[in-house]
Homo-oligomer: A and B are copies of this chain.
Amino acid sequence: MARFIKSRRKSHGAMPGSLIFIGNQKMESPDIRLMVYSRENVEEKHIESVDEIPEAIPEGAVMWVNVYGLQDTELVAKLGERFAIPPLELEDILNTDQRPKVAENEKNLTFFLRMLEYREEIEQVTGDQVSMVLCENTVITFQEKPAHYFEPVRERIRNNRGRIRYAGSDYLAYVLIDTLVDGYIHSIESLGTYMEAMEKEVLHNSQKSTLEKIYRLKTNVGFIRKAVFPLKEMMLFLNKTESKLIQRKTFTFLKDLNDLTTQTLEAVEIYHNMANDYLNIYHSNVANRTNEVMKVLTIFASIFIPLTFIAGVYGTNFDYLPELHFRYSYFVMLGLMLIIAVAMLYYFWRKKWL
């Protein structure tokens, strides 16, 4: 299966707005968590159907509907109806291969995001799609499977830390995106630490397997890049949106998030370039090693080949070969061979091959 683009065979030629789940089912049945909080109190519960979502919430309160599992397209359709999410956005929520983006209409803002995770067992960065719909006093999040990364936000709501309990639904949306981007930095940092640790192997001890490691690294950096680039676009959009769903005071936070995204992007770029450098250095190191192998061969061959030749000459069976009959010929020959060997060694030493 292609890693960088998911199979759309199921939806090929389907009409726009068709609700077809594209992805791998990761849960047996979907799970909905509801959280309603205001300055005064917090209420949390699991619900079974969309009908259990309250029609109205108190003035100033914020509702967070968290949906895990996307295979139940019926459920998603109902949510869409309840919160006036356009069919095209619903389609993309179910198509879990969306490019990070934000869609705006009068009633809501839909965010398509990606959560990154480094999975050690396959040495790959993988990414689940996280969709989020921001309505007037509600945030709905859609995830393929339960995940831990929003837990700190829930804790903050429960414990009433910071401004979250009285800052509106747009602030909640901001906090959730911020949490995901924090996770990106975490992934990049892991990758960076691994990469800088690999430096020694690349520079001094590269082996055949090093090449594959570098390639895996490049692919992972590419995967992160694919997620971060469009995020930057999203940030630029958010920082100049005129949507009524976003309060003036939230913009300060969005600008900060924009800066964080830029920093993330530049770090990815640096590791991308570094991976390219690794590839070049690896190649030069192979060439260096071949050079060394050749030197060993050449030194051995160049010293012994002439000597063997001399021995060969005195191994011939000519009737008349005067040197054979002198008393010290053998020792003279050995001496001559020694001189030749020493001369060759000196020559190679001068050439700095030794």
Contact surface of A with B, Cβ cutoff 8 Å: 1-9, 11-18, 86, 88, 92, 97-99, 101, 103, 105, 149, 152-153, 156, 161-164, 174-175, 178-179, 182-183, 185-186, 188-189, 192-193, 195-196, 203-204, 208, 211-212, 215, 218-219, 222, 226, 229-230, 252-253, 255-256, 259, 262-263, 266-267, 270-271, 273-274, 277, 279-291, 293-298, 300-302, 304-309, 311-321, 323-325, 327-330, 333-334, 353
Contact = CB atoms under 8 A, between A and B. Distances in A.
Contact of A215 (B3, B277, B306): B277
Contact of A2 (B189, B311, B329): B189
A317 B324 CA distance: 6
A293 B298 contact: yes
B300 A318 contact: no
Given A293-B294, A318-B323, 10 more contacts: A2-B195, A4-B267, A7-B189, A15-B164, A203-B215, A204-B212, A219-B274, A226-B270, A311-B312, A315-B315
A284 B175 contact: no
A295 B175 CA distance: 58
Contact of A279 (B98, B284, B293): B284
Contacts of A208: 288
28 contacts: A2-B193, A2-B196, A4-B267, A8-B186, A13-B153, A14-B152, A15-B156, A16-B253, A99-B259, A103-B255, A105-B252, A211-B288, A219-B274, A222-B270, A229-B266, A279-B281, A284-B286, A286-B291, A290-B291, A296-B302, A298-B300, A304-B306, A311-B312, A311-B315, A315-B317, A317-B317, A318-B324, A319-B327
A11 B301 CA distance: 61
Contacts of A323: 318
Contacts of A298: 293-294, 296-297, 300
A291 B290 CA distance: 5
A130 B3 CA distance: 30
Nearest to A188: B5
A211 to B, nearest CB: 6
A86 B253 CA distance: 11
B293 A99 contact: no
A66 to B, nearest CB: 16
Contacts of A162: 15-18
